[in-house]
Amino acid sequence: MYGRYTQELGVYAKEEAARLRESGQRRSVSDRSRTLDLLEYDKGRCAKCRICTVRCQKFLISRVGEDWIFLILLGLLMALVSWVVDFCIAICLQAQKWMYGGLDSNVFLQYLAWVTYPVVLITFSAGFTQILAPQAVGSGIPEMKTILRGVVLKEYLTFKTFVAKVIGLTCALGSGMPLGKEGPFVHIASLCAALLSKFMSLFGGIYENESRNIEMLAAACAVGVGCCFAAPIGGVLFSIEVTSTFFAVRNYWRGFFAATFSAFIFRVLAVWNRDEETITALFKTRFRLDFPFDLQELPAFAVIGIASGFGGALFVYLNRLIVQFIRKQKAINRFLMKKRLLYPALVTLLVSTLTFPPGFGQFMAGKLTQKESLVTLLDNRTWAKQGIAEEFDYIGHSQAWKHPQVNVFVTLVLFIVMKFWMSALATTIPVPCGAFMPVFVIGAAFGRLVGESMAAWFPDGINTDGTIYPIVPGGYAVVGAAALSGAVTHTVSTAVIVFELTGQISHILPVMIAVILANAVAQSLQPSLYDSIIRIKKLPYLPELGWGHHEYYNIRVEDIMVRDVRYITLNCCYRDLHNVLLTGHLKTLALVESAESMILLGSIERAQLQSLLSQQLGRPRRLEYIRERALAEKKRMSVVSNPGSEDGSQRVSQEVRFQVRGHCTFVPPLVSSSSVMFISHPQLSPPLCVLQIAEWEEMQLDEQVNFNNCKIDPAPFQLVERTSLHKTHTIFSLLGLDHAYVTSIGRLIGVVSLKELRKAIEGSVTVKGVKVRPPLASFRDSGTSSSENEATELHKLWDRHKSMSLPREHTPSESDEKSQ
Amino acid sequence: MYGRYTQELGVYAKEEAARLRESGQRRSVSDRSRTLDLLEYDKGRCAKCRICTVRCQKFLISRVGEDWIFLILLGLLMALVSWVVDFCIAICLQAQKWMYGGLDSNVFLQYLAWVTYPVVLITFSAGFTQILAPQAVGSGIPEMKTILRGVVLKEYLTFKTFVAKVIGLTCALGSGMPLGKEGPFVHIASLCAALLSKFMSLFGGIYENESRNIEMLAAACAVGVGCCFAAPIGGVLFSIEVTSTFFAVRNYWRGFFAATFSAFIFRVLAVWNRDEETITALFKTRFRLDFPFDLQELPAFAVIGIASGFGGALFVYLNRLIVQFIRKQKAINRFLMKKRLLYPALVTLLVSTLTFPPGFGQFMAGKLTQKESLVTLLDNRTWAKQGIAEEFDYIGHSQAWKHPQVNVFVTLVLFIVMKFWMSALATTIPVPCGAFMPVFVIGAAFGRLVGESMAAWFPDGINTDGTIYPIVPGGYAVVGAAALSGAVTHTVSTAVIVFELTGQISHILPVMIAVILANAVAQSLQPSLYDSIIRIKKLPYLPELGWGHHEYYNIRVEDIMVRDVRYITLNCCYRDLHNVLLTGHLKTLALVESAESMILLGSIERAQLQSLLSQQLGRPRRLEYIRERALAEKKRMSVVSNPGSEDGSQRVSQEVRFQVRGHCTFVPPLVSSSSVMFISHPQLSPPLCVLQIAEWEEMQLDEQVNFNNCKIDPAPFQLVERTSLHKTHTIFSLLGLDHAYVTSIGRLIGVVSLKELRKAIEGSVTVKGVKVRPPLASFRDSGTSSSENEATELHKLWDRHKSMSLPREHTPSESDEKSQ
């Protein structure tokens, strides 16, 4: 059981390869130890040194297998990658500013520089990833979620993808477009872990273990978020919420360990680079500690939460709408697909034109980068008082929010509205990019807007107990940022990320309230951004059970299972195998004792059956048969010995070896094509005609299947017909199953796959095609009827046991026969 | 599958009862709606009002089923409980202080008051819980962990226990002993959830669902910690780490929602009570934000972490040692057991004598309560400078740390050492109490000690870049508190709790580093405090897989499984059933097709079999047989009709009904006892002698078992012999199993229970009795051998299928026969 429920067909081949490699390594290790022994006998000058070195090497190699070494290396690597990427992005952004600043004599030149720079960078990024590894496009979190479910996505964890993702991401973010780095960093960290794991497996065998790799990937996701925001705790929690459905607390420390180390190194690098004096938060705030907020401000925070919930759902919807619109419009699509780089270029052009500071950008703080906007939005001071923009000293970047003609409120509203659709649009560009950071900034701006309004409304604060505590709009910005990003990603841990980013936890209750409200609203309206992308990309997924849908406890497996199971019996012949393989497309097939008893013995992978069939009917046996026939023919005809026959048999044996080596795909034995092949064979003796071959084929097909060399999973996952949908969902997501057989006292009666489950869960809202149990199904008197049923079933089995001759079973086998 | 893997035997009966109650409710609901219809026809004065009321009521009742209502109610309730408990504790402590302060004329009277008060309170607490509900004793977290594993502990979630826990806890903490409230609060919250669930089930049927209840209990644990520390995030994480092995991310929001609401209400109550001006942290710190710590201070933090790790392990060890010592010393034990209240009283006397402020307590800040100590330890100011206690203005409670004769360092060291063993001792008292808070305070003191030492060593701070940033010993105290409590509980989330408690997150990196190091050290030395208690209390548990033990990937189920499985066959007779029941003590038995085929059909609970046997051999059938015999006898003898016979048959039928109603336990049919019974029966006719009854019994035992009315779990959990120990552990902890059958192509070949798994995991460190695979087992060439094996097995099955007559299987069945 759980022998092989991954969807990958070549796992077995890989395992075999790994085993071979392992045994090779063992040999090399023993070689090395032999070298050591030899060295000890060697009385040369630096023999001692060399012995010492070899010993150290041995010790190190034995230590390399430890988890914590791996995690430290991963953390170190990711911190370096994160820091280098950040550094490059900062340089890119500075270069744009420098160009823009240097050309301040001519507005047109300025515009050209402002627009061309991002267009070039984005186009390069899109082209580069397209050419090197198209898998690097997008966030990466949806893919990681799918991979952690146990599905193997090809090419998602290769070195090529790593290079494409890192360089593509740097260029994309360097362009100044509203894109984020947290999603790609989850992917990059997973890539790092996978590559590191591969590299480390050169030293020890343990890195080959599949479940260990999954554990390490889960830790890597935490590292990705952790080193991106220098937020170890938030990173771990965010990665858990975003990628897992069930989390092993056992793996908890791995994530914390690696993420903390990574965040530590990431911040230490900043100190060493003289950017900062000591390790502090990334976006440090300086709100007052003694009275962070008044109780009476809580309704305002709740409003932020609810509005953010709607906003988050709208963002996800808008994002999906844009993707679907681009896909549907065939004319546009053909045009854009031909020139894959045109779409990114056009979008970038549009966005950067609108943010051009002397143009429309002046009304929306267009000249600020994402980071600068966030710093100003989280600022401690109040921008507006009594409705009029206060004439305080706008230091540094805060100036950008001040416009001589328009109010700071107008600037904020424009910023929010424009950035909202720009971010939704920009994240559809086929470059490596995330949506967390843009959404975070928009949320902060929204919070700031509410905060400034509150400050304008209550210039002396709300508290009536003597002391004046003015309202802190920066605190509102923090709340807004957490709420909106939480709503878009459907996570609560953005609250923790916010605390770690700002270095202040004083607003914990408002933040938690807003985040929970935002989540409640967003989750009831739309799937999370990542789930939305999973659906758009048609990755295999299992929808979450919604909040408090009680009907999941009442729907049972028997209501959703497919009763018409494709199975093979222990005494079936190759013809049955052939028919089953031709009709269905399931990856595994049930093996039952006989069509009468239907006792489930195990499941066999399709590939195994295909190879069985191809062994029986494939080229080698065919050639052998022909050779035998030819030999018999020859003997019978007593012709002179032909020197070419030996050569021919050699070739045949070569072909046999070739056939056995690769995982050959089964070619349905069509008489016409095979006979054509054989007729063209030079070695064929004339009497072997097409009919004979067809006859031979028929004969072969009627033979009983020999399962001796076939890998059988002897205990595939089994459910009972009365298991509730809720429990089934839990088990499927716990164990990462993609199908389970439904049995009744050992007898196969149905199968449930991810598809049925998905239909049932989504169908319980909008029923289509699936028989969904009425909501009151739990009230039916199931106790007596089903126990009766069980008893009858058992009785049948018993009867069979006594008489050993039973009439054919009704539903499943008959319908199966028909379908075959 | 998973139909019933809980250990409770009476679940079925309960379900039936619930179903009956549900149908009753439905009836009452329909009654209510009929009332409504009637009301609408009624044209009375306030008919409209009444209609409106009834409608509102209906709406409310329909809403009550929603999760969030339940969670809000739970949060509200727990916040109130927490606040009331805190309030009462504060009053108790104040009373002690008042008494102590009022008697300052006479030291002896002072001592009497100081000592008597806690002794009385603790003795009352111990006695009260002992009488009302002994289950309320102790922390409650170990029990909750066991319950969340799926084990049903009796009486742990009743109203009695709730009352005992709340009152006992209040008295215990009010005594001023070094005890904590977080463990009991987890239990109290779970109790609340269970009781609330029961209460709510009066309105809707959904509260009956078992898996939903488990989800709600998990949320309740989060609420417990959350409202205890006003730390929603830390509470959720702590409860996850402490109680779960696998956590459903789906349940995440429940915990956050309820814990946030609870923490919010808890703090709002403080504001309304005018204790605080607004919602802030419980132990607010005021460290400087701009430069919280220097990079060069990190080694000191690491030292705190490592030392805390050793300290935590020592604490757990000490705690266990004390319990075991008390248990082993039979003389002491007998004495203490007789007077159950003597042990608590003695311990309290000892502890309170040592902390008596004018006595030894003056050297260890004895007059401070736990809360006051913590506040002073987290203080912003430095107590010592250049080795000499600085003469700054010790305001408020900080005075207690200052002693005219001795250094502040000596005070701190004494405090740490004394409190350490006192806490370890005090937590063994049989009252409701936790160990988190005392450990937290000790950790804070240790951190403060290191911090003060650092401040004395570097009076001008460490940083060399011009500005002087003096060292903040309070920051060290925060780090120490998190590290020591993390080490004792084996959790990382104490870091988050610390941030939420202090309201400052600036020390995030030092805290994380120290906590992780402390965990690493402590986890490699000792189990967590809760696991230690689980072992002491002998609750069913599954040990965690340690850090990076790679051998778990190499040990396989076939190495640890019990091959001698007790099973029953489909065609067995009652005698076999009887033998199986007499020899083994397993809770479920495997049902196989036949001893030859060994095809696993399902599992049957012991209780089911017992009721089968008792139906076959029990009193009713016996009486019936006797009655029949008597009637036949009567007819044969043609005596006059006896009026008492009718009466007798009535009594018999009554007895039958009684027998069927209750889950009668099976009495082994011993001829002697039963015959004695029958001989004493007044209705017996003389010729029915003992021998005849024995004969009848033998006859009955030779009948084939009729499984028709027996509840069979048709798909018990199955593993394959090659499943790795790691995977088995994962599956067991994921699904909360207590045993799983090992099958090979449908044939039962062994069974693995929690016991074997536990032995294997613990045995991989110290092998005893279990055949543990050598560490290099993965290198054996398992690929070919096992596939051969599989093939042979299959072949046998096939042969059997063909010939239908197979020689008896070798190992499992033979050994089973012998054992039976």
Asked if A730 lies within 8 A of B600 by C-beta distance, the reply is no
Residues of B numbered 431-470 whose beta carbons fall under 8 angstroms of chain A's beta carbons: which are they?
463, 465
Position A396 scores a pLDDT of: 63
More confident residue, A816 or B295: B295
Enter the pTM of the model: 0.74
Position A763 scores a pLDDT of: 64
pLDDT at B394 > cutoff 70? no
Contacts of B245 in chain A (CB under 8 A): 248-250
SS3 category, B781? coil
pLDDT at A135 > cutoff 70? yes
Which of A745, A751, A796 should be substituted to probe chain B, the one whose Cβ sees the most B Cβ atoms within 10 Å?
A745
Q: Which of A477, A514, A471, A482 is nearest to B278 (CA)?
A: A471
Contacts of B248 in chain A (CB under 8 A): 245-246, 730
What are the tens digits of pLDDT across the range A72-101? 889 999 999 999 999 999 999 989 888 888
Contacts of A205 in chain B (CB under 8 A): 778-779
Minimum distance, in Å, between the CA of residue A547 and any CA atom of chain B: 8
d(CA B752, CA B728): 9
Position A382 scores a pLDDT of: 79
Contacts of B779 in chain A (CB under 8 A): 22-23, 26, 205
Contacts of A734 in chain B (CB under 8 A): 246, 734-735
Minimum distance, in Å, between the CA of residue B299 and any CA atom of chain A: 13
Task: Record the tokens describing residue B285, joined without a space.
Answer: 């710190």
Contacts of A257 in chain B (CB under 8 A): 516
Least confident of B237-246, B381-390, B470-479: B381-390
d(CA B597, CA B747): 7
Minimum distance, in Å, between the CA of residue B437 and any CA atom of chain A: 22
Residues of B numbered 517-536 whose beta carbons fall under 8 angstroms of chain A's beta carbons: which are they?
519-520
Q: Touching check for B564 and chain A: CB below 8 Å?
A: no
Give the one of A246, A286, A722 whose C-beta lies nearest to B289's C-beta: A286
Least confident of A172-176, A289-293, A471-475: A289-293
More confident residue, A601 or B816: A601
For the four alpha carbons of A360, A362, A363 and A368, in that order, the dihedral sign comes to positive
d(CA A418, CA A433): 19
CB atoms within 10 A of CB B330: 9
Which of B479, B512, B598 should be substituted to probe chain A, the one whose Cβ sees the most A Cβ atoms within 10 Å?
B512
Question: What pairing do the DSSP bridges indicate for beta strands B747-753 and B739-744?
Answer: antiparallel
Q: Touching check for B200 and chain A: CB below 8 Å?
A: no
Position B338 scores a pLDDT of: 67
Asked if B602 lies within 8 A of A745 by C-beta distance, the reply is yes
d(CA A584, CA A569): 16
Average pLDDT of chain B is: 75
What are the tens digits of pLDDT across the range B331-385? 776 776 666 788 888 899 999 999 888 888 888 888 888 888 888 888 877 776 5
d(CA B140, CA B150): 16
What are the tens digits of pLDDT across the range A18-32? 555 555 455 444 444
Q: Classify burial at A800, counting beta carbons within 10 Å of its beta carbon; exposed 0-12, middle 13-18, buried 19 or more.
A: middle
Least confident of A484-488, A494-498, B406-410, B627-631: B627-631
pLDDT at A571 > cutoff 90? no
Band of the pLDDT at A172, cuts 50, 70, 90? very high
In the block, which residue shows the tokens 């999370």?
Answer: A528
DSSP per-residue letters across B607-654:
HHHHHHHHHHHSHHHHHHHHHHHHHHHHHHHTPPPPTHHHHHHHHHHH
Asked if B720 lies within 8 A of A709 by C-beta distance, the reply is no
SS3 category, B492? coil
Query: Residue B368: left if φ>0, alpha if ψ -120 to 50, beta else—which one?
Result: beta
Asked if B241 lies within 8 A of A248 by C-beta distance, the reply is no
Band of the pLDDT at B23, cuts 50, 70, 90? low
The residue of chain A nearest to residue B289, with distances taken between CA atoms, is A286
Q: In this structure, are residues A398 and A379 in contact, taking their beta carbons and an 8 Å threshold?
A: yes
Q: In this structure, are residues B518 and B123 in contact, taking their beta carbons and an 8 Å threshold?
A: no
Band of the pLDDT at B397, cuts 50, 70, 90? low
Mean pLDDT confidence for A642-665: 41
Percent of chain A at pLDDT exceeding 90: 17
Contacts of A284 in chain B (CB under 8 A): 289
Asked if A548 lies within 8 A of B68 by C-beta distance, the reply is yes
SS (H, E, C) B29-80: HHHHHHHHHHHHHCCCCCHHHHHHHHHHHHHHHHHHCCHHHHHHHHHHHHHH
Position B244 scores a pLDDT of: 79
The residue of chain A nearest to residue B551, with distances taken between CA atoms, is A206
Band of the pLDDT at B22, cuts 50, 70, 90? low
More confident residue, B311 or A198: B311
CB atoms within 10 A of CB A644: 10
Asked if B723 lies within 8 A of A267 by C-beta distance, the reply is no
Q: Which of A637, A604, A176, A182 is nearest to A367 (CA)?
A: A176
Residues of A numbered 754-813 whose beta carbons fall under 8 angstroms of chain B's beta carbons: which are they?
778-779, 783, 787, 790-791, 794-795, 797-798, 801-802, 804
Supply angle C-alpha B115, B118, B119, rounded to 5. Answer: 80
d(CA A457, CA A448): 14
Position A804 scores a pLDDT of: 41
Minimum distance, in Å, between the CA of residue B542 and any CA atom of chain A: 13
Count residue pairs from A and B with Cβ separation < 8 A: 319
d(CA A663, CA A660): 7
CB atoms within 10 A of CB A337: 12
Q: Touching check for B179 and chain A: CB below 8 Å?
A: no
Position A134 scores a pLDDT of: 86
More confident residue, A318 or A775: A318
Contacts of A442 (CB under 8 A, 6+ apart): A311, A416, A419, A420, A423, A484
More confident residue, A566 or A440: A440
CB atoms within 10 A of CB A90: 15
Q: In this prediction, does ipTM exceed 0.90?
A: no
Residues of B numbered 683-712 whose beta carbons fall under 8 angstroms of chain A's beta carbons: which are they?
707-709, 711-712
pLDDT at B479 > cutoff 70? yes
Contacts of B600 in chain A (CB under 8 A): 746
CB atoms within 10 A of CB B239: 31
d(CA B24, CA B16): 12
pLDDT at B650 > cutoff 80? no
Give the one of A247, A271, A290 whose C-beta lies nearest to B246's C-beta: A247
Mean pLDDT confidence for B144-158: 81
Task: Record the tokens describing residue A175, joined without a space.
Answer: 């362009």
The residue of chain A nearest to residue B725, with distances taken between CA atoms, is A211
The residue of chain B nearest to residue A466, with distances taken between CA atoms, is B277
More confident residue, B462 or A812: B462
Band of the pLDDT at B317, cuts 50, 70, 90? very high
CA distances B399 to B286, B364, B414, Å, are 19, 12, 16
Give the one of A211, A252, A548 whose C-beta lies nearest to B241's C-beta: A252
Which of A250, A493, A729 should be substituted to probe chain B, the one whose Cβ sees the most B Cβ atoms within 10 Å?
A250
The residue of chain B nearest to residue A64, with distances taken between CA atoms, is B548
Minimum distance, in Å, between the CA of residue A340 and any CA atom of chain B: 39
What are the tens digits of pLDDT across the range A48-74? 777 888 877 766 666 556 777 888 889
Give the one of B249, B271, B516 whose C-beta lies nearest to A256's C-beta: B516
Least confident of A164-178, A751-765, B201-215, B463-477: B201-215
What are the tens digits of pLDDT across the range A669-714? 444 334 334 444 444 444 556 677 777 777 877 888 777 777 777 6
For the four alpha carbons of A563, A569, A573 and A577, in that order, the dihedral sign comes to positive
Asked if A246 lies within 8 A of B246 by C-beta distance, the reply is yes
Mean pLDDT confidence for A479-503: 91
More confident residue, B337 or A381: A381
In the block, which residue shows the tokens 């309206």?
Answer: A525
Asked if A278 lies within 8 A of B295 by C-beta distance, the reply is yes
Position A209 scores a pLDDT of: 62
Which of B149, B264, B278 should be substituted to probe chain A, the one whose Cβ sees the most A Cβ atoms within 10 Å?
B278
Q: Touching check for A109 and chain B: CB below 8 Å?
A: no
Supply angle C-alpha A798, A803, A808, rounded to 5. Answer: 80
Position A63 scores a pLDDT of: 59
Percent of chain B at pLDDT exceeding 70: 73
d(CA A285, CA A278): 15
Minimum distance, in Å, between the CA of residue A167 and any CA atom of chain B: 30
Position B638 scores a pLDDT of: 62
Asked if B247 lies within 8 A of A245 by C-beta distance, the reply is no
d(CA A432, CA A445): 25
What are the tens digits of pLDDT across the range B666-692? 334 444 334 334 444 444 444 556 677
